[in-house]
């Protein structure tokens, strides 16, 4: 890896992986404890429509995809709150329509064709300085919101009825969380791609949950694990000439398998319960 650091694209890739680990740790922990992985998956895949829209209209990719993804996340959240368990059908429809519209709009784009696979599977080694700045700004926004609403998010995650009785608008917090999921998905577009983003958002927090006694410690450990997976995956991809995003996920999946094996010998951490 020391030799690889001579290349600017490799240094950018490492920085991108570290920046992405912040979103993975913070938002991924909320996804896991609130059991909304299916919603995160719908948002991640449906965001492809935002990419197609940006390409078709020749609009800036990041703002357009952000706006589309947040709107899609709020729509999915509305269906979930109104229809409960039966919302899975509506989410599946939005998921499929988002991806299909992205493909159609990208193909209708005048001029040269676009490599759509780069958005599906990620292109970490192609990250630019502009991408890094955008990721840093989004991470700063996510960190500020999580820190500012942390106790409310804890209450919503572990005891929503008590939190609601204290006058907190739990539904608004739910929509805020989904909007943050959408922001994180866009941050991770070039790291793991839309296909792999869900795994990157769920694997590190799932491992961290086994060794954390609170949501805060789970978030910190998730960030550290995400960073470790990113660095190890980049090293693996450099040595073996593999796709960087896929290598990161393979490393994370291996760590998850090890955590399952450790379950037999290590007792789980105390359930994270904090006062809202």
Q: Which residue has the higher pLDDT, 74 or 213?
A: 74
pLDDT at 244: 83
Domain ranges in the chain are 4-262
Query: Residue 18's closest CA among 245, 223, 255?
Result: 223
Residue position matching structure tokens 């990041």: 62
Distances from the Cα of 228 to the Cαs of 2, 83, 165, in angstroms? 16, 39, 40
The residue length of the chain stands at 276
Identify the band that residue 274 occupies on the pLDDT scale cut at 50, 70 and 90: very low
Q: Report, as an integer, the average pLDDT of 43-59.
A: 88
Instruction: For 128-187, write each residue's pLDDT tens digit.
Output: 888 888 889 889 999 999 999 999 999 999 999 999 999 999 999 999 999 999 988 887
Backbone angles phi, psi at 120, to 5 degrees: -80, -45
**Mean pLDDT (whole number) for 184-213:** 84
Pick from 194, 219, 232, 180: nearest CA to 22: 219
CA distance 249 to 237: 11
pLDDT value, residue 85:
53
Which of 62-66, 213-217, 225-229, 256-260 shows the lowest per-residue confidence on average (mean pLDDT)? 62-66
pLDDT at residue 79 tops 90: no
Task: Give 25 or 110, the one with higher predicted confidence.
Answer: 25
List all residues 6 or more positions away from 114 whose beta carbon is below 8 Å from its beta carbon. Answer: 55, 106
Cα separation, 222 vs 28, in Å, equals 8
Instruction: Sort 178 into a burial class: Cβ within 10 Å, 0-12 / 13-18 / 19+.
Output: buried
Average pLDDT over residues 17-32: 93
Q: What percent of the chain has pLDDT over 90?
A: 38
Quickly state the pLDDT bin for 10 (edges 50, 70, 90).
Answer: confident
Confidence of residue 122 (pLDDT cuts 50, 70, 90): confident
- State yes or no: pLDDT of 275 exceeds 70: no
Name the fold adopted by 4-262.
Answer: ABC transporter involved in vitamin B12 uptake, BtuC (1.10.3470)
Contact 74, 175 (CB under 8 A): yes
Chain centroid to CA 183: 8
Encode pLDDT of 206-222 as tens digits: 999 988 889 999 999 99
Rounded CA gap, 87 and 121, in Å? 28
Q: Encoding tokens for residue 158? A: 């572990």
Torsion of CA 28, 101, 71, 36, to 10 degrees: -30
Measured from the Cβ of residue 252, the count of other Cβ atoms closer than 10 Å reads: 27
| Mean pLDDT within 239-258 | 89
């Amino acid at each position: 890896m020391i030799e690889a650091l001579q290349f600017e694209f490799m240094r950018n890739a490492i920085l991108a992986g570290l920046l992405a680990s912040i979103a993975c740790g913070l938002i991924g922990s909320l996804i896991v404890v609130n059991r909304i992985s299916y919603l995160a998956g719908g948002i991640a895949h449906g965001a492809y429509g935002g990419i197609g829209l940006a390409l078709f209209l020749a609009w800036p990719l990041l703002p357009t995809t952000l706006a589309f993804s947040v709107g899609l996340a709020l729509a999915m959240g509305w269906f979930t709150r109104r229809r409960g368990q039966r919302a899975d059908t509506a989410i599946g429809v939005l998921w499929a329509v988002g991806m299909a519209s992205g493909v159609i709009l990208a193909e209708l784009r005048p001029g040269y064709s676009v490599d759509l696979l780069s958005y599906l599977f990620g292109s970490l080694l192609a990250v630019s300085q502009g991408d890094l700045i955008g990721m840093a700004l989004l991470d700063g926004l996510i960190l500020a919101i999580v820190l500012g609403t942390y106790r409310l998010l804890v209450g919503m995650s572990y005891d929503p009825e008590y939190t609601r009785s204290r006058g907190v608008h739990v539904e608004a917090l739910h929509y805020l969380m989904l909007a943050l999921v959408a922001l994180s998905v866009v941050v991770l577009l070039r790291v793991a791609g839309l296909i792999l983003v869900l795994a990157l958002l769920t694997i590190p927090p799932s491992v961290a949950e086994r060794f954390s006694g609170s949501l805060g410690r789970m978030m910190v450990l998730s960030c550290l694990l995400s960073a470790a997976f990113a660095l190890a995956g980049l090293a693996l991809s450099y040595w073996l000439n593999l796709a960087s995003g896929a290598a990161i996920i393979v490393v994370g999946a291996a760590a998850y398998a090890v955590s399952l094996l450790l379950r037999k010998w290590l007792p789980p951490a105390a359930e994270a319960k904090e006062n809202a």
